[in-house]
Each structure stands twice: as C-alpha cells, then as structure tokens.
Amino acid sequence: MSLRIVSIQHGDYREALQIIASGQAEPYFGMKYSVDLLEKFVEDDQHLIISLTTVPYSIRRERGELVGMPEPKLPRPIPGRVAEFLLARRILKKIREFRPSRSSTV
C-alpha cells in the first residue's frame, strides 16, 4: 500500500537538496542527515514537502512535490496575527488538495 505523506518544515528544502548534491559544506550541523532521513522516509510513497519561510516555488518530482511558502506580504501593517492566519490557510488548502494518508512536522 502506497502512502501519501506530508512534511512541513522551516527552511528551504530545495536549497538543502542542492547544497548536498553539489558537495558544499553543510550550513548547519546535521542538515545532510535530516534531509537523507526524510528522502529515505518518502522514497517509495507519494509525498508533499512544504518549506516555510522561503521563496515561493513548486517542483514536481517522480513521486511528489516540493513547495516553498513564504509569509504573506500584507499591503499595510495589520494588528494581530493576520499574516500567520493567511499562511496557515494556504498550507491547509495545499494539504487538502494533496489528500495525505499520513503527515509529520519536522
């Protein structure tokens, strides 16, 4: 049975993959280990990996998709947590479209 896995994390997962592929030094301790672990975890399943606080992107892979979701830019300062609410709505919309059978937060 194939699973449909969602992972939501801070930082740019796409950039981490590029750093590892190019052989550059890890910008923080354990980056390669955590990326390799997630790659192994999703390798046989459909997956959606959402990177928060990064530039917007959407990259299709053989069995999944990598998505970058920056914080929303508001036209003017608004009191409260409106930006966080809007980001949460975008994340939930993407997850609903994907219809996961499992999810994790890293």
3-state secondary structure of 32: helix
pLDDT at 89: 93
**Cβ pair 85, 63 in contact under 8 A:** no
- pLDDT (tens, 9 = 90+) of the chain, 106 residues, equals 789 999 999 989 999 999 999 999 999 999 999 999 999 999 999 999 999 989 999 999 999 999 999 988 878 877 778 888 889 999 999 999 999 986 556 5
Q: How far, rounded to the nearest angstrom, does the alpha carbon of residue 62 sit from its chain's CA centroid?
A: 16
Domain range enclosing 53:
4-105
Q: How many domains does the chain have?
A: 1
pLDDT at 106: 58
Could you give the C-alpha distances from 28 to 16, 17, 76, in angstroms and in order? Answer: 10, 14, 34
Tally the residues of the chain. 106
pLDDT at 44: 93
